[in-house]
A and B are shown apart, each in its own frame.
Chain A
Amino acid sequence: MSEVAAKSMIGAGIERREDDRLLTGHGRYLDDLELPGALSAAFLRSTYAHANVLSIDADAARELPGVVAVFTGEDLAEIQKPLAPKVMHPQLIDYPRLPMPPKAVHYVGEPIAIVVAESRYVAEDALELIEVDYEELPAVGSTAAALRPGGPMAHEGAETNVAVKLSQKAGDADKAIRAAPHTLTGEFFVTRGGGHSMETRAVAARFDLTTEQLIVWDTTQSPHYARQQLSVIYGMAEDDIRIIAPPDVGGGFGPKAQFYGEEVVIPWVAKLLERPVKWVEDRSENFVSAMMERSQTHRIEVAFDDDGRLIAVRDFVEHDQGAYCAGLQVPSITTSTVPGPYHVPNIYVELLACYTNMVPTSSVRGAGRPQAVFAMERMIDRIAEYLDLDPALVRERNLIQADEFPYEVGITFRDGSPLTYDSGDFPALLSGTLERLEYARTRAWQAEQRERGRMIGIGLAVYVEGCGLGPYEGAKIRLTNKGRILVTLAAAGQGQGYETVYAQIASDALGLNMDHIYVTTGDTSKIPFGQGTFASRITATAGPAVFQAAQQMRERLLDTASILLGCHPAEISFIGDRACRDGDVEKSKTLLELAQVANVGKHGITLPKGVQAGLETSSYFAPARAAYASGAHAAVVEVDPDTGGITVLRYIIGHDCGTVINPRLVDGQVIGGFAHGIGNAMYEEAAYDSDAQPQAASYLDYSLVSATEVPSVELFHIQTPSPLNPLGVKGAGEGGTIPAPAAIANAIEDALRPLGARINRAPVTPARIVDAIQDAAVVDQPA
């Protein structure tokens, strides 16, 4: 234990507190919980993408020994209430997403019955005995099919598959495009992809008959949101529902931030059966029921002058909302991400969110941003090609400059505030990236290699990421009766190292060594209000909340100690766990002693004069608006034109997330996000066929990247602190992901430039590269 109070833990790359238990097999994930007498649940899921459910015969399943109960949607009619979209729009045509719909199914994987049994093995046996009589209906397997005139409707009786049209406007893009000296159009498609946390979703619940309280363990990223939803659906008081996100959750990446039917059904069934019930989604289910994202088509037009300066951007987007609208956060973020780090005087973005008969979509690491960046950054490269300019130069000419902040883009962000970049230095990010790449030399080397027949390409992508969203996040700090500082967060972690990071922040604000501070998260009974971990928001919301609550706690501790030591608070400082007068350990009170006085007290005895009872503080931090992180990526790739094989030779990331609390953890977030981005760029594709049947429902068909696919990354940070919070922090979890598909696709198209092959789709796979080369060859042939 250090004898000197830490000076600054913010910025220190210290080891994580979580690691010892995780490295020894003593993590506490949901499926590890001891729940004596717990039953196992399994869901029967629709095998049709769109069908009416005429009848369900579960008699045989109920008779199977070991089966405790089988419920269909109709059996649980009382909880068949719509799971509301998280982000709404007044014009949204909404179809109720029911926990377990009794009448009709709208995607393969939608739950229609639940078996509760003594073991998961038996529960799965019983699923095979349930007979469902479906009336198959035509299904919508893509946004193109959704928008095809006269095509099938994802919901019976609908007049359109368009859920809502969102648009953004600044200036007059139509007029500017008409008048511009040059315009280019492009059409880009990004396919569906998933979160694929290594731990799947899971819910366990127990109804306490004595207190009539429902305890729900849930791998959710948003425990308070889940509680609020359950309270509405069950008609129970929030205080009678306790949601606990287990101490260890095996990754989230977005899908676990959503609210699902299973989360409604499991606790209710536990209540009905008066037995604990546990459901752990298996990977098969995860493939067809956890929300996905990404699928968008962009038809983008850019107008620019002779120097490549942007005059206008007009982008028409088709967004795959899936079978139901779980929220409009993703399409909304897409529309505001298009202009990126550039001066764009005239902007028009129009997005059609379309219903399809596929798993509903919602945020997955990156959340609507990678698609917008893909469209915009690809067009910047096309402008450079058209004008025969260097793509780095075109970017430089268009970047918003460091002295222009706060910068108003002229459109609106998804948090409802005007899209206003708070801080940043985009030119420094780009030039830093180019410097590390030794850009001029690399371009020369590329040309030289091209002469020798090697297809080398360089791709750049610059982006701005809205993050740190509101409305607020909270923290409570208490001096425990054992003399330790307990920081309680509403947010639930999924492996980001909250126990370490928030102790670091609290340590700085308290002026106390981290050894005396510990952190708990994700339990609605420990802190009344919270929002959840999503949109790279926690550091920028919970961070300041912890910081402020810790500052208050420091004052309280100093006040208490100064009264007991008979001095002014300013004379107190901490040495170890001692509050010392004038730095003298002989004249000090330990934290335990302070707790004894102010918290424990002496039974019936008046507190010392001036001492305030109860050393507890709390703070809820509500940012004025979103913060904006930013970054620049550069990729150098080699393409084998024969096989389409792609080798990433170098990858450089310049990243700015404001103040860095723990550089090691931020690096981990960025590089981890980058691996996901590499997956989106070259591997991951949640393919569906035209009947909306999933085609990639196992890891044999859905390619997650392993260590051999992820290249080494050269990462650097610049720090432009956000003025929107006292720590100056922004989000870090998605910046590695967002521009990676764009940078890789730009690099591949650059490599193929002598062949004129076009890359218009992510992921870029070897087969698509070779097919694109063939297409280019056909086009080039004289008529």
Chain B
Amino acid sequence: MREPKVNIEAPGHLISVTVNGSTRQHVVDDRLTLADFLRERLRLTGTHLGCEHGVCGACTVIVDGASVRSCLMLAVQVDGCDVETVEGLSGEGELNPLQQAFKKNYALQCGFCTPGFLMTLTAALREGPIKDEAEARDVLSGNICRCTGYTGLVQAVLDASKETQA
């Protein structure tokens, strides 16, 4: 017979993580999610929490080159990783081609889901062009937008794909 094991003392973990190119060191609690770490500790509030169970995609960020749900990762897991968030997409105040394509095609309304879409697409477009509407819809299907009906998003993906592959 054993007493239930419970957390006696959580000293926290020192992590070192590169976020949008700059290295940050923080002590984080065991259970702090990556999304909350970015939002609360680094105050990078562009990453949004829409469902916290990995369906809506609003919290999508890029970790070591791959798009992931930041609500389904712990902050302590990104120790030593390279994390990219929406705040890192455009330098010098200019919108990057993907962001411009979003704006031009009315691919956003309330904007809450937008950072997740941008990060998903950023990772996807690095892998190669997105050729047609069907492929665009497939790439978009891991993120939910309640406002636009996706028409603008599809067009933005196709435009950005042309632009970035040109």
Contacts and interface: CB of A to CB of B under 8 A. Distances in A.
Do chains A and B directly touch (beta carbons under 8 Å) in the complex? yes
B87 A25 contact: yes
Interface in A657-689: 664-665, 667-668, 671-676
B92 to A, nearest CB: 11
Would you list the 8 A-B pairs with minimal beta carbon distance, nearest first?
A25-B46, A495-B110, A250-B112, A22-B111, A671-B149, A25-B86, A707-B140, A699-B55
B37 interface: no
Interface string B85-107: 11101100001000100111010
Contact of B86 (A15, A24, A671, A706): A24
Given A19-B111, A199-B110, A699-B56, 18 more contacts: A19-B103, A23-B103, A24-B87, A198-B112, A198-B146, A248-B111, A249-B110, A250-B113, A251-B147, A283-B50, A283-B51, A283-B53, A668-B149, A671-B148, A704-B56, A704-B146, A706-B141, A707-B153
A15 B141 contact: no
A198 B58 contact: yes
Contact of B109 (A497, A705, A708): A497
B99 A23 contact: yes
Contacts of A706: 140-144, 150
**B contact patch SS:** loop
A198 B149 contact: no
Contacts of A18: 111
A282 B36 CA distance: 13
A282 B47 CA distance: 15
A15 B104 contact: yes
Given A16-B106, A24-B95, A25-B85, A198 B133 contact: no
17 contacts: A16-B103, A23-B103, A25-B87, A26-B87, A29-B48, A121-B29, A251-B109, A282-B49, A495-B110, A495-B147, A668-B106, A672-B149, A704-B56, A705-B144, A707-B154, A708-B141, A712-B133
A200 B53 CA distance: 14
A194 B147 CA distance: 14
Contacts of A712: 133, 151, 154
B152 interface: yes
Of B143, B148, B150, which is in contact with the most chain A CB atoms at under 10 Å from its CB?
A: B150
A750 B43 CA distance: 54
B110 A675 contact: no
Contacts of A704: 55-56, 144, 146
Interface of A: 15-16, 18-20, 22-27, 29, 31-32, 34, 121, 196-200, 248-251, 253, 282-283, 494-497, 664-665, 667-668, 671-676, 698-700, 704-708, 710, 712-713, 736
Contact of B108 (A19, A676, A698): A19
Contacts of B154: 707, 712
Contact of A495 (B48, B99, B104, B111): B111
Contacts of B115: 25
B50 A198 contact: yes
Interface string B50-77: 1111011010000000000000000000
B150 A198 contact: no
Nearest to A286: B51
A672 B147 contact: yes
A273 B109 CA distance: 37
Nearest to A24: B90
Contacts of B99: 23-24
B144 A199 contact: no
B7 to A, nearest CB: 11
A14 B53 CA distance: 37
B13 to A, nearest CB: 15
Contacts of B149: 668, 671-675, 710, 713, 736
B138 interface: yes
A496 B86 CA distance: 22
B18 interface: no
Contacts of B39: 31-32
B95 A20 contact: yes
B74 to A, nearest CB: 12
Contacts of B50: 198-200, 250, 283
Given A23-B95, A668-B109, A196 B146 contact: yes
B161 interface: no
Contacts of A708: 137-138, 140-141
Interface in B113-139: 113-115, 118, 133, 136-138
A109 B103 CA distance: 39
B104 A198 contact: no
B2 interface: no
B113 A198 contact: yes
A284 to B, nearest CB: 8
A49 to B, nearest CB: 23
Contacts of A707: 136-138, 140-141, 150, 153-154
Nearest to A702: B55
B30 to A, nearest CB: 10
Nearest to A197: B146
A253 B109 CA distance: 12
Of B44, B89, B137, which is in contact with the most chain A CB atoms at under 10 Å from its CB?
A: B137
Contacts of B16: none
Contact of B44 (A15, A25, A671, A672): A25
Nearest to A200: B50
A587 B73 CA distance: 64
A128 to B, nearest CB: 13
Given A24-B86, A676-B146, A251 B47 contact: no
A199 B146 CA distance: 10
B95 A675 contact: no
Nearest to A678: B149
B111 A250 contact: yes
A701 B104 CA distance: 35
Of A23, A29, A705, which is in contact with the most chain B CB atoms at under 10 Å from its CB?
A: A23
B8 to A, nearest CB: 14
Of B106, B109, B143, B150, which is in contact with the most chain A CB atoms at under 10 Å from its CB?
A: B109
B111 A671 contact: no
B5 interface: no
A449 to B, nearest CB: 22
Given A23-B103, A198-B146, A708-B138, A699 B86 contact: no
A712 B137 CA distance: 10
Contact of B46 (A26, A197, A249, A282): A26
B111 A27 contact: yes
Interface in B10-42: 29, 31-32, 39
A11 to B, nearest CB: 16
A741 B60 CA distance: 31
B56 to A, nearest CB: 6
A400 B93 CA distance: 54
Given A24-B95, A24-B99, A671 B151 contact: yes
A667 B154 CA distance: 15
A31 B104 contact: no
A40 B27 CA distance: 21
B152 A668 contact: yes
Nearest to B85: A25
B150 to A, nearest CB: 4
B145 interface: yes
Given A24-B95, A25-B46, A121-B31, A251 B148 contact: no
B45 A25 contact: yes
Nearest to B99: A23
B137 to A, nearest CB: 4
Contacts of B152: 668
A708 B85 CA distance: 25
Contacts of A282: 49, 52
Contacts of B49: 31, 282
Nearest to A195: B146
